[in-house]
Chains A and B, each alone.
With several copies, the nearest count.
Chain A
Amino acid sequence: MKKLINNIDTLLDESLSGFAKAHADIIQFNAQPHFVKRIKPTAPGKVALISGGGSGHEPLHTGFVGSGMLDAACPGQIFTSPTPDQMLAAAQAVENGGGVLFIVKNYAGDVMNFEIAAEMLDCPHETLLVSDDVSFPKTHSTGRRGVAGTLIVEKIVGAAAESGADLATCKALGDRVNLVTASMGVALSSCTVPALGKPTFDIGDNEIEMGVGIHGERGRERRAMSSATEIVDYLAGSIDDDLKPQKGQSALLHINGFGATPLMELHLIYELASRFWEKRGVNICRSLVGNYTTSLDMAGCSITLSLLDDELLRLWDAPVHTATLRWGC
């Protein structure tokens, strides 16, 4: 394993501190406990949106802190949920009279740590669970995982919160977006967690892992490597089965790289996935292609389809100014 780091123990702090310096115009990093919050004061009564999760998925979530999206993000250790004290400190720093909405990817560690924080919070609060990964049935014993669709929830709810929606509205809106958003990923290689120094899983030269999770947790099944078209048919097919989009339905298509996949390949996947849905009469009218919800240096990608009605499209299009997503300002 070769990594551009000094040592395992300082990696996260040095990186977060670099992130904070590079984006000092929008965000601020609190080192003890770790959280990133936006700088510009929000309107009084605005619902405070706080997300978080293990590190190693950058730019998620820190890259989405800023006006029109998150108020704060709590980065945990690499692939390890953040802790309740981070969430409480972040809430204290950004709560502004409108209550707190925690946006949590459905993973046991994240859910439990945010739950503890919520129990300790003494202001109005709600928790929004994102569970967009269709690799598993809805009936899976722990529910579905929250993956690349999370940023869509964060963007849309962020826009609503910015324009004055109250806590209950934000929570309901987030649940609605989660329901119309479905994702599934494929890994061509494993990631390597720096502290471990070797790949999380072994995978043959001619194998891929279908339905992989964003920590390199193995997914639905191991398959033989195949063409991009076959891979897209598998992933998009699973998503389509789940969302069952109507003809004429408008949608956002998000191709997410896991970290080591060239943009050229991601655009190729976008091409194939948009053909897949165009053939089925879906109107792909918004796109997002790039590395947004990564798994360190894993090769592979996920496909996310999000069925957006006019209201949701308007919220997606609303101005956003974060380290990673920026438009309309």
Chain B
Amino acid sequence: MQFVPALLPRLIQAIDNVIEANAEEVTALDQAIGDGDHVTNLQRGIKALTAQSDELAAQLDWAATWQKIGMTMMTAVGGASGSLYGTLFVAMSKAARERPVVSGVERALDLQTFAEIFSSGVDAVKLRGKADAGEKTMLDVLIPVAASLRQAATDSVALSDVLKNVVQAAITGMESTRDMVATKGRASFLEERSRGHIDAGAKTSQLMICALVGVLTENLTTPS
């Protein structure tokens, strides 16, 4: 797998594009049951990441890379999502540091290690948000995606299928928030009135994950 830090500029660019392209739709979602700032928040983070993307591509190891991404998200985004994405990446960095992550020029990650690290990150998000699946948040995307990665790692599925499964898990998770009543975050104050709207944070998680997968898939078929 060619999941190396050198890919980061392209990944960040892909995320930037997908959020930009869906800005209006997502803002409408956050306005419907939140306060409407979710896209602006994320875009501040993405802009900060973009400014650092060369630096990130040259980071020595994944732990340091994720730490930097986490701190950038944490300091640039703000709001609920900033602390959660910050927590996700800082926790991934911590998990990476505790593991014999492949180092060296390539610093490629094997799927199983990544699945474990990502799961640690998602667990940290659950702790930070005092939330779990079914509460109509980004966790309804992150948790199934982590599960699908872990599953794939144990079943040793072909990488292209892993990526397809991830996309499927993200989309299904995102869609599932529509019929939920929010019990965490700002939408929880709407109680029954929150039903019928997709959660903005779930939507952007899904969009970003799918954008990342898009780049990885491309990279798989036409390795750089």
B189 A193 Cβ-Cβ under 8 A: no
Q: Is A240 an interface residue (CB 8 A)?
A: no
B residues in contact with A54, CB < 8 Å: 78-79
Q: Is B22 an interface residue (CB 8 A)?
A: no
Find residues 70-88 in chain B having any chain A CB closer than 8 Å to their own CB. Answer: 74-84, 86-87
Q: Is B9 an interface residue (CB 8 A)?
A: no
Please report the C-alpha to C-alpha distance between residue A145 and residue B187 in the assembled complex, in whole angstroms: 12
Find residues 89-142 in chain B having any chain A CB closer than 8 Å to their own CB. Answer: 128-129, 135
Please report the C-alpha to C-alpha distance between residue A145 and residue B81 in the assembled complex, in whole angstroms: 18
Interface centre among B37, B128, B185 (most CB of A within 10 A): B37
| Distance between A141 CB and nearest chain B CB, rounded to angstroms | 4
Find residues 199-217 in chain A having any chain B CB closer than 8 Å to their own CB. Answer: 200-201, 213, 215-217
Q: A76-B78, A195-B37, A215-B35 are in contact. Are A108 and B190 (CB under 8 A)?
A: no
Q: Is B151 an interface residue (CB 8 A)?
A: no
Please report the C-alpha to C-alpha distance between residue A84 and residue B78 in the assembled complex, in whole angstroms: 9
B41 A77 Cβ-Cβ under 8 A: yes
Query: CB-defined interface of B22-63 with A at 8 Å, one 1/0 digit per residue?
Result: 000001000100111100110010000000000000000000
Q: Bin the interface of chain A by size.
A: 35 or more
A108: which of B76, B80, B193 is its contact (CB, 8 Å)? Answer: B80
B78 A113 Cβ-Cβ under 8 A: yes
B residues in contact with A112, CB < 8 Å: 80, 83-84, 87, 128-129
Please report the C-alpha to C-alpha distance between residue A218 and residue B30 in the assembled complex, in whole angstroms: 12
Residue of A nearest to B82 (CB): A83
A76 B79 Cβ-Cβ under 8 A: yes
Residue of B nearest to A202 (CB): B31
Residue of B nearest to A219 (CB): B189
Q: Is A80 an interface residue (CB 8 A)?
A: yes
A residues in contact with B83, CB < 8 Å: 81, 83-84, 109, 112-113, 115-116
Q: Is B164 an interface residue (CB 8 A)?
A: no
B183 A217 Cβ-Cβ under 8 A: no
A108 B129 Cβ-Cβ under 8 A: yes
A218 B82 Cβ-Cβ under 8 A: no
A residues in contact with B37, CB < 8 Å: 77-80, 193, 195-196
Q: Is B10 an interface residue (CB 8 A)?
A: no
**Total chain B interface residues with beta-carbon distance under 8 A:** 33
Residue of A nearest to B40 (CB): A195
Please report the C-alpha to C-alpha distance between residue A57 and residue B78 in the assembled complex, in whole angstroms: 16
| Distance between B7 CB and nearest chain A CB, rounded to angstroms | 27
Residue of A nearest to B185 (CB): A108
B78: which of A80, A195, A215 is its contact (CB, 8 Å)? Answer: A80
A140 B31 Cβ-Cβ under 8 A: no
| Distance between A137 CB and nearest chain B CB, rounded to angstroms | 11
B189 A79 Cβ-Cβ under 8 A: no
Please report the C-alpha to C-alpha distance between residue A127 and residue B16 in the assembled complex, in whole angstroms: 35
Query: CB-defined interface of A262-303 with B at 8 Å, one 1/0 digit per residue?
Result: 000000000000000000000000000000000000000000
A109 B82 Cβ-Cβ under 8 A: yes
A108 B184 Cβ-Cβ under 8 A: yes
Q: Is A85 an interface residue (CB 8 A)?
A: yes
Q: Is B188 an interface residue (CB 8 A)?
A: yes
B75: which of A33, A195, A215 is its contact (CB, 8 Å)? Answer: A33
A200 B189 Cβ-Cβ under 8 A: no
Please report the C-alpha to C-alpha distance between residue A161 and residue B163 in the assembled complex, in whole angstroms: 56
B residues in contact with A115, CB < 8 Å: 83, 128
B74: which of A79, A80, A116, A217 is its contact (CB, 8 Å)? Answer: A116
A196: which of B31, B74, B135 is its contact (CB, 8 Å)? Answer: B31
Q: Is A234 an interface residue (CB 8 A)?
A: no
B residues in contact with A217, CB < 8 Å: 34-35, 186, 189-190
Query: CB-defined interface of A107-130 with B at 8 Å, one 1/0 digit per residue?
Result: 111001101100000000000000
Chain A contacts to B: CB under 8 angstroms:
33, 54, 76-85, 107-109, 112-113, 115-116, 135-136, 140-142, 145, 193, 195-196, 200-201, 213, 215-219
Instruction: Return 22 A-B CB contacts under 8 Å, by A number.
Output: A78-B37, A79-B35, A79-B36, A79-B37, A81-B83, A83-B82, A84-B75, A108-B186, A109-B78, A109-B80, A112-B84, A115-B83, A136-B189, A141-B188, A142-B184, A145-B189, A193-B36, A195-B37, A196-B37, A200-B31, A217-B189, A219-B189
Nearest 4 A/B pairs, CB to CB: A112-B83, A141-B183, A109-B80, A80-B79
